[in-house]
Amino acid sequence: MQTGEQRVYVRYLAAVLLAVVAQLVRLPLHNPTSMPFTTYYPFIVLAAWYGGLWPGVLCTLLCGLESDYFNIEPRFSFWISGPDYWFGIVLFAVTGLAVTVLFEQLRRAHQREQRIRTEEQQMRSHLEAIVNSSDDAMFTRQPDGTITSWNRAAERIYGYTAQEVVGQKISLLWPPEQVATELAVQQRVSVGTVVKNREARHRCKDGREIDALINLTPLVDGDGRAVSVVGTVRDITQLKRVESTNAQQARELANQKAILESIVQHSTTAFALVSGADFVFELANPAYHHLLPGIAIEGRPFAEVWPEAAPEILPGFRKVMVTGQGMQLGAVARPLLHRVDGRLETLWVDVAYVPLRDLREPGSVDILIVANDVGEFKRIEDGLRDNEERMRLLVEHAPAALAMFDTEMRYLQCSHRWRNDYGLGDRDLHGLCHYDVLPEVTEAWKQIHQRGLRGEVVCSEAERFEREDGRVQWIRWEVRPWRNAQGQVGGIVIFSEEISERMKFEQQILRLNEDLEERVKVRTKQLENSSRELESFAYSVSHDLRAPLRGIDGWTQAFLEDYGQTLDAQARRYLERVRAEAQRMGQLIDDLLHLSRVTRLPVVMAELDLSALARSVATRVAESSAGQEIHFNIQPGILVRGDQRLLEIALTNLLDNAVKFSRKKPVSIIEIGTDQHGETMNGQPVIYIRDNGAGFDMAYAGQLFGAFQRLHSSAEFPGTGIGLATVQRVILKHGGSIRAESAPGQGATFYFTLGGEDDIQKNHAPGRG
């Protein structure tokens, strides 16, 4: 305001000064009355130019007065002497005013122009500041895409400086795959369409691509065609990333919720949530339902759901509600009345109450019940305790020195015998280190313990200790690792037993055994000798006993031949009887030798076809019994393991017998087969030989297989009584057995089996040597 006033004052002062100067300028004129007005005009113009209308008018007025006073006759007076002067002054005033007004107009126009220019300048700088301070990229381009301006944000976002891109095409920013789309957009914009919030990808100078939010505003001419396009671009790459991260987080949250729900649903741990003063169940998972079978839970107060346990449980709930502190009860027993069968049982559960602040209702606390059914553990634990007690009893009263240690050689258990042996008394050893209890344990033993702890079983069946009193003790001991449930060595068990007595006996037994072996050797030798003697005896019998018989027979025959005519019939019959007896004696000797040979023959086992063997024997037997009609019925394919030679001897005897004793039948029917329904022995079939002969009385069956035992008279059926003894010998040598079934006149059946090879070796091995 002050300034404005001053300036107004200055303008008027300038007008006055200019009027003064205008008068002073006239001083050099010779004729002061010439050009009375003209010289004033420039100063009036200056005053109007500088001071405006009213200072101009003032200057005009002052100049008019000055001219009237100094230049118009009468000079130095304001008197105007004539109409010409009036006219001049009036014209001067009008002209001065006109000039003043005109310059005033000019000045104003100039000032206005100045002001407009200033404002425009300001606007421009504002706009530039706005444009350059924006975080969004801004640019202008021509409809054909040529970039005309490029702000700082654009430089920052795209990496191109304004200098680089102005004059370039906007397509510089388009990724190749978007060119077609962008061209279409450019086309639309060029006909005046405004594009708002379009999302696209833009490529930066360094090749990086960004997510761009694009606005394009065309500046249109009168025909609606764009003359220029203003674009703003916001880099929303970060935003996009955040958006996608948010979506990811939301998915994860949903996933976690699903997992949590699944855990709660499928957990074997029981969960339930109660709320409010009545502890109403809000939810309970299947495991909780499992704890309380057959009871409706959700939406009902606790006291109603489980009245029998409520008196014990509810005080705990109240405490949690009041204090806001959770409770961990551990394993507790709860009564549970079975709703189905009315049975009252004890439920063992491990329970915790967890306070949960209800976020929906500030200040209220819900209780999460977490419970695990530990009934099974409880039972196992009880069982374990029982086992432990039994184990303790067993160890303590074991009739041996026995101790169990952990890995640090601390006592876990030991037997009374152990305490006695080491003089440990009755004190509690549990947890004490063996080496503290018995400082005299030697280094060697410690080493053995360490070996045990490394998993080795160290033992000695008999170890000799000489005691201080000179007594010799024999100890059997064993150090054995025991393993825990993880299979790691949990410690060792030491067992020791005094076996001095036993050792004494064992040594005796050893001595006795040695004696026995010696004796066996002697006996074997004796046996071998007698066996040899027997052989030479048999040889002698074979040779020497038969020679005289032949003599008797031979000379009797010679006597008969040479002197037969001089003897009567009776005498000849006697001599014939002598011969017959001699021959029978020879037969007896032969059979006996045969039997003894069978006994001495080694058994050579082989697979053989008994049926085939029986057929060949039957043929031979039939041939030697000419005149007798014999029908053999032999089952084919009887396979056995046996000695062919011995079995042939046995079969020959059996078939001979069968033929002999059925001699009196019109047709002898002899059957050989296996007992299809009978038992087998060592995989060998039971074989039978049946005839339709005279048979025998079972009362005498016991004598059947003895040597020289006969159940029929020689006159009826001749024979020496050696045959069946030989058969039995053969069967026994095979490890088998034989028996007979018969009745007088009913025929006889012989059943036999051949034992396995093992039995034969066991029973007859010495006979082979």
The residues of the shown chain that bind other proteins, judged by CB under 8 A, are 538-539, 542-544, 546-551, 553-558, 579, 582-583, 585-587, 590, 593, 597
Sequence letter at residue 504: K
For the bound state, the minimum distance from the C-beta of residue 543 to other proteins, rounded and expressed in Å, comes to 5
How many Å apart are CA 678 and CA 680, to the nearest integer?
7
Token code pair at residue 693:
């002969």
Question: Closer CB to other proteins, residue 694 or residue 722?
Answer: 722
Measure Cα distances from 66 to 11, 21, 54, 75, 80 in Å. Answer: 20, 11, 18, 10, 13
For the bound state, the minimum distance from the C-beta of residue 590 to other proteins, rounded and expressed in Å, comes to 7
Question: Closer CB to other proteins, residue 311 or residue 554?
Answer: 554
For the bound state, the minimum distance from the C-beta of residue 591 to other proteins, rounded and expressed in Å, comes to 11
How many Å apart are CA 190 and CA 127, to the nearest integer?
24
How many Å apart are CA 305 and CA 178, to the nearest integer?
68
What's the length of the chain? 769
For the bound state, the minimum distance from the C-beta of residue 600 to other proteins, rounded and expressed in Å, comes to 10
List the alpha helices (DSSP H) in 423-499.
434-437, 443-453
For the bound state, the minimum distance from the C-beta of residue 555 to other proteins, rounded and expressed in Å, comes to 7
Q: Which residues pair with 149 in a beta bridge?
A: 140
For the bound state, the minimum distance from the C-beta of residue 565 to other proteins, rounded and expressed in Å, comes to 17
Token code pair at residue 435:
């080496």
Name the region of 345 (left: φ>0; alpha: ψ -120 to 50; beta: rest).
beta
For the bound state, the minimum distance from the C-beta of residue 644 to other proteins, rounded and expressed in Å, comes to 16
How many Å apart are CA 742 and CA 74, to the nearest integer?
209
Question: Closer CB to other proteins, residue 86 or residue 539?
Answer: 539
How many Å apart are CA 550 and CA 581, to the nearest integer?
11
In order, the DSSP letters of 64-75 are HHHHHHHTSSST
How many Å apart are CA 70 and CA 340, to the nearest integer?
142
Question: Closer CB to other proteins, residue 240 or residue 584?
Answer: 584
Dihedral angle, C-alpha 64, 67, 70, 72, nearest 10 °: -110
Question: Closer CB to other proteins, residue 515 or residue 576?
Answer: 576
For the bound state, the minimum distance from the C-beta of residue 656 to other proteins, rounded and expressed in Å, comes to 19
Measure Cα distances from 765 to 294, 522, 582, 604 in Å. Answer: 79, 18, 38, 12
Question: Closer CB to other proteins, residue 163 or residue 624?
Answer: 624
For the bound state, the minimum distance from the C-beta of residue 649 to other proteins, rounded and expressed in Å, comes to 13
Question: Closer CB to other proteins, residue 172 or residue 560?
Answer: 560
Cα angle 441, 446, 451; round to 5: 155
